[in-house]
């Protein structure tokens, strides 16, 4: 394993996604998942990747064994996480310490109690013995050639409870040879001004190299991390996408982006910050946790603009309504088309989609009016760029792009005696001068219609074989009660390289779905044939 950190050792970016992040409710990482994420983190250029707790569970032990063989780290070092020795047991004789020693990791991060109440109630030992546990474990691992960081658990609560003892924990760790003592806001209850004062006091009192590890229970994890850095911390811990127990850990990408773009502190290798969007979403695919569209910097909505007033200003200069250039983190500016849109919104959205508005001066006004009319009926194009592009092209050319027309369709649903449910669909389709009937079956009427359309049209347009419906969302709109309510359906389709979204609106959910499916296939053919 490489031990090179291009950005040097003066400032540490330490990722704990694979350990602390994995404690998030509903998140369960296999060894393969952890190896994949580790490779992504190395691409991002973080200094340290905390791989887990070897010896505590077989999965983490296997991860360290395989990581040393299968990953050639270019920028990152692998860190093993574990606890100090047990009370009244020599570190050299403790099996969990042995697992850390034998993990193959050049760095070990030890968690230690710094809150006197936790020493008493959780460890059930004396304050003096806890200090000996810290010193003995650090000294032992250092003598084995490993670098040691210490996570001072519940430090800020401990500092409030028994300041003298919390400081003694930091001193003991530093004197024993710990390179960094990370002060942990384990319960996530601190606020930036209070946390900054404590970090400054600890730094001036002990002279130790300090790090920070924050949880997000007050919504201040990133702000607290930045406050700690300002107060003198030179080691910052966090997780990708803010994964973690309860409300999560500090989002490492937000911390990094704020340091590099706002504070002009270079903490990643050259150009790595521009990979943030790609890597954040790639990791989300591995974890199967839907990424937040509103995540700072790398969320899909982070640089999305809806109001017509904003669009008018952005047309003059994007910086008027954007705090940073999206490309700095690998993201893009997006214009949202809605009933709030004005001419500038449509013009910018057209440019984003690569659609030439031509020389018809009235096309933009017509599109604005059309969008406002449709939105009043329950349509919304914010998340359906493909349907909007079809509408836009239709207003420009006088006719919506069409490769086929669905003359009629019908569906039936049957529940069999064994409880299984099967749906059947039949559609009358006209394409390239031919009218024919196509049939399909599926686990529901929408799936059956989709299969019927594809089976029939696939004979004329074989490229449709590449298309796959990847997501399906239904929303019941206000205005009418119960089963008679207006329904909006959004479908997401992929051709293996690109995804697009289309929508349909109708009182009948099947009819709305059929509209969205028809747009999805039309847009797919448009992409293939233009």
Residue 292 within any structural domain of the chain = no
- The kind and range of the H/E element at 206 are helix 192-206
Percent of the chain that is helix, strand, coil (3-state, to 5): 45, 20, 35
Are residues 61 and 79 both part of a single domain?
Answer: yes
**428, 379, 382, 381: which is closest to 404 by C-alpha?**
428
Are residues 95 and 237 both part of a single domain?
Answer: yes
Are residues 386 and 462 both part of a single domain?
Answer: no
Are residues 190 and 169 both part of a single domain?
Answer: yes
Residue 328 within any structural domain of the chain = yes
Residue 2 within any structural domain of the chain = no
Residues forming beta bridges with residue 487, ordered by sequence position: 476, 506
Q: What per-residue confidence (pLDDT) applies to 233?
A: 97
Q: How far is residue 378's CA from residue 116's CA, in Å, rounded to a whole number?
A: 59
Domain CATH code at residue 271: 3.20.20.70
Q: What per-residue confidence (pLDDT) applies to 3?
A: 34
Domain count along the chain: 3
Are residues 484 and 377 both part of a single domain?
Answer: no
Residue 299 within any structural domain of the chain = no
Of 231, 257, 287, the position where a domain reaches its end is: 287
Q: What per-residue confidence (pLDDT) applies to 1?
A: 33
Residue 467 within any structural domain of the chain = yes
Residue 293 within any structural domain of the chain = no
Residue 336 exposure: Cα atoms within 13 Å on the Cβ side: 17
Of 287, 320, 344, the position where a domain reaches its end is: 287
From first to last of the 530 residues of the chain, give the pLDDT tens digit. Answer: 333 333 468 999 999 999 999 999 989 899 999 999 999 999 999 999 999 999 888 999 999 999 988 998 999 999 999 999 999 999 999 999 999 999 989 999 999 999 999 999 999 999 999 999 999 999 999 999 999 999 999 999 999 999 999 999 999 999 999 999 999 999 999 999 999 999 999 999 999 999 999 999 999 999 999 999 999 999 999 999 999 999 999 999 999 999 999 999 999 999 999 899 888 988 988 888 888 888 999 887 777 766 555 555 555 666 666 777 888 888 877 665 555 556 666 777 777 778 888 777 788 878 778 777 777 777 777 778 888 889 888 888 888 889 999 999 999 999 988 888 899 999 999 999 999 999 999 989 999 999 999 999 999 999 998 888 888 888 876 555 555 578 888 899 998 888 898 989 998 899 999 999 999 999 999 988 77
275: which 2 tokens? 């990979």
Are residues 383 and 503 both part of a single domain?
Answer: no
Model's pTM, two decimal places? 0.70
Are residues 270 and 335 both part of a single domain?
Answer: no
Are residues 267 and 140 both part of a single domain?
Answer: yes
Q: How far is residue 91's CA from residue 110's CA, in Å, rounded to a whole number?
A: 12
| Residue 283 and residue 290 in contact, taking contact as beta carbons nearer than 8 Å | no
Residue 257 region, left (φ>0) first, then alpha (ψ -120 to 50), else beta? Answer: alpha
**140, 180, 229, 232: which is closest to 48 by C-alpha?**
180
Domain CATH code at residue 445: 3.30.160.270
| Residue 456 and residue 434 in contact, taking contact as beta carbons nearer than 8 Å | no
Residue 101 within any structural domain of the chain = yes
Are residues 181 and 257 both part of a single domain?
Answer: yes
Q: How far is residue 473's CA from residue 489's CA, in Å, rounded to a whole number?
A: 6
Identify the residue whose tokens are 């704990």: 16
Are residues 433 and 491 both part of a single domain?
Answer: yes
409 is in which domain, residue-wise?
A: 405-529
Are residues 328 and 248 both part of a single domain?
Answer: no
469: which 2 tokens? 């419906």
Are residues 390 and 421 both part of a single domain?
Answer: no
Give the number of other Cβ atoms within 10 Å of residue 419's Cβ.
6
| Residue 148 and residue 179 in contact, taking contact as beta carbons nearer than 8 Å | yes
Q: How far is residue 492's CA from residue 384's CA, in Å, rounded to a whole number?
A: 9
Residue 3 within any structural domain of the chain = no
């Amino acid at each position: 394993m490489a031990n090179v950190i291009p950005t040097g050792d003066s400032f540490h970016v330490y990722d704990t996604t694979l350990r602390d992040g994995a404690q998030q409710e509903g998140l369960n990482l296999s060894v393969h998942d952890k190896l994949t994420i580790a490779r992504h983190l190395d691409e991002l250029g973080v200094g340290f990747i905390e791989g887990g707790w070897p010896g505590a569970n077989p999965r983490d032990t296997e991860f360290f064994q395989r990581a040393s063989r299968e990953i050639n780290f270019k920028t990152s070092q692998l860190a093993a996480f574990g606890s100090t020795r047990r009370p009244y047991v020599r570190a050299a004789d403790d099996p969990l310490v042995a697992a850390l020693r034998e993990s193959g990791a050049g760095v070990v991060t030890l968690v230690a109690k710094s809150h006197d109440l936790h020493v008493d109630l959780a460890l059930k030992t004396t304050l003096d013995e806890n200090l000996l546990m810290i010193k003995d474990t650090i000294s032992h691992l250092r003598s084995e050639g490993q670098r040691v960081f210490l996570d001072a658990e519940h430090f800020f609560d401990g500092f409030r409870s028994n300041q003298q003892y919390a400081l003694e924990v930091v001193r003991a760790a530093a004197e024993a040879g710990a390179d960094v003592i990370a002060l942990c806001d384990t319960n996530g209850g601190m606020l930036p001004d209070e946390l900054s004062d404590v970090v400054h006091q600890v730094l001036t009192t002990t002279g130790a190299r300090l790090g920070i590890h924050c949880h997000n229970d007050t919504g201040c994890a990133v702000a607290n991390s930045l406050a700690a850095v300002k107060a003198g911390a030179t080691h910052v811990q966090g997780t990708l996408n803010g994964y973690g127990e309860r409300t999560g850990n500090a989002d490492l990408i937000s911390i990094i982006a704020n340091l590099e773009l706002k504070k002009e502190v270079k903490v990643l290798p050259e150009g790595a910050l521009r990979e943030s969007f790609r890597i954040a979403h790639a990791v989300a695919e591995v974890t199967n946790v839907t990424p937040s569209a509103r995540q700072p910097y790398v969320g899909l909505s982070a640089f999305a603009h809806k109001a017509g007033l904003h669009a008018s200003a952005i047309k003059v200069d994007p910086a008027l309504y954007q705090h940073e250039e999206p490309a700095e983190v690998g993201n893009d500016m997006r214009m949202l088309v809605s009933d709030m849109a004005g001419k500038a919104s449509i013009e910018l959205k057209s440019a984003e989609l690569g659609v030439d508005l031509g020389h018809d001066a009235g096309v933009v006004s017509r599109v604005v009016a059309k969008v406002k009319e449709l939105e009043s009926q329950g349509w919304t194009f914010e998340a359906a760029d493909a349907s909007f592009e079809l509408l836009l092209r239709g207003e420009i050319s006088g006719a919506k792009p069409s490769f086929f027309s669905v003359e009629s369709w019908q569906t039936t649903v049957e529940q069999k005696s064994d409880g299984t449910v099967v749906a059947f669909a039949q559609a009358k389709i006209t394409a390239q001068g031919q009218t024919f009937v196509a049939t399909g079956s599926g686990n529901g009427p929408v799936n059956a219609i989709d299969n019927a359309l594809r089976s029939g049209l696939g004979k004329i347009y074989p490229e449709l074989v590449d298309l796959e419906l990847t997501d399906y969302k239904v929303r019941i709109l206000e205005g009418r009660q119960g089963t008679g309510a207006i329904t909006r359906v959004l479908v997401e389709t992929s051709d293996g390289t690109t995804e697009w979204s289309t929508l349909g609106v109708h009182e009948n959910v099947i009819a709305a779905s059929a509209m969205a499916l028809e747009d999805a296939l039309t847009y797919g053919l448009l992409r293939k044939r233009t």
